[in-house]
Amino acid sequence: MTGNGRPITDEQAASIRPGSSVLHRPISGRLVIATHNRGKVAEMRDLLAPFRIEAISAGEMGLHEPEETGTTFRDNARIKALAAARASDLPAFADDSGLVVEALNGSPGIHSARWAGPDRNFRRAMDMIEGKLRVRGATTPDRRKAHFVSALCLAWPDGHVEEFEGRVDGTLVWPPRGDKGFGYDPMFLPDGYSRTFGEMTSEEKHGLPPPARNQPERRPAGGPNCTPNEKVGSRSDAKTETTFADRAPGGLSHRARAFLKLAEACLETRRGVS
């Protein structure tokens, strides 16, 4: 109640409610991965695997791809997730991500997929980026800084959404290296690492446990079982890994970092549930 005895409104309650009391909606049942991009579908299924979520892609369901009219990654992720949720009458999970190159004033940014064209030719898109960098004289590592951004959105048919973002910084290399991953991965070298995303396995790229290791385990963090590509000193020897987030503190890829936030909010209680 307010001071004058009137019932408090939802808007007033939201303005005074402490952040720690914010309740997230958990995911249950089937989940639509709101993309027709096979590479993204594979990555998202890898991320969801430890949580035993039954996921089907928008492409597999034959859902229409909405026009991405947003001005930010978050806007476009929301557009895709809501469209898939309403069309399927199921919760939907969408990602909008891209490469932001400092020397190109943030391009390709939200237009990263468009630079690859309708045939999704990312080798051509990487050639385009390299050409533009050379025109600007950006040939040394300090002139080739870039970062990946991932905005994840969970949406329900009733319009409820949960949104999360992640970012990873790095440098663009040439020529591209590796044939793993997808998109601009072969030319992106994350800070502190010697291999590009295109040279890393999915487990190394995301910095998360592989699907075969779904169950919680206890082992010293940063010990001899660290992945070959793990950054030295990124873990605390005094800590044991017991939770999903603890086992991958911060993740590596932009998508993994956003997904860790999503998992803590909406998925953690489902991990390992058969």
**Per-residue pLDDT at 159:** 96
Residues 6+ apart with CB under 8 A from 126: 176, 184, 186, 187
Phi and psi at 76, nearest 5°, equal: -70, -35
Side-chain half-sphere CA neighbours of 251 within 13 A:
27
Burial of 49 (0-12, 13-18, 19+ CB in 10 A): middle
pLDDT tier for residue 269 given thresholds of 50, 70 and 90: low
Cβ atoms within 10 Å, residue 265: 18
pLDDT tier for residue 209 given thresholds of 50, 70 and 90: low
pLDDT at 227 over 80: no
Take residue 29 and report the two structure tokens written for it. Answer: 């049942």
pLDDT tens per residue across span 164-191: 999 999 999 999 999 998 899 999 999 9
Residues 6+ apart with CB under 8 A from 190: 168, 169, 170, 196, 197, 252, 253
Best mean pLDDT range from 1-5, 207-211, 219-223: 207-211
In angstroms, the CA 101 to CA 194 distance is 20
Q: What would the mean pLDDT of 116-125 be, rounded to a whole number?
A: 94
User: Could you tell me which CATH class the domain 24-213+238-270 is placed in?
Assistant: alpha beta
Take residue 132 and report the two structure tokens written for it. Answer: 């533009």
132: phi > 0 → left, psi -120 to 50 → alpha, else beta; which? alpha
Alpha helices by DSSP H, the chain: 10-16, 38-48, 58-61, 73-88, 112-115, 122-135, 202-206, 244-247, 254-262
In angstroms, the CA 261 to CA 204 distance is 19
**Per-residue pLDDT at 181:** 87
Q: Which sequence positions are flagged as catalytic?
A: 96
Nearest to 155 by CA among 5, 33, 2, 1: 33
pTM of the model: 0.74
pLDDT at 95 over 60: yes
Per-domain boundaries in the chain: 24-213+238-270
In angstroms, the CA 85 to CA 76 distance is 14
pLDDT at 114 over 50: yes
In angstroms, the CA 173 to CA 222 distance is 28
Q: What would the mean pLDDT of 134-148 be, rounded to a whole number?
A: 97
**Per-residue pLDDT at 268:** 59
Q: What would the mean pLDDT of 81-95 be, rounded to a whole number?
A: 96
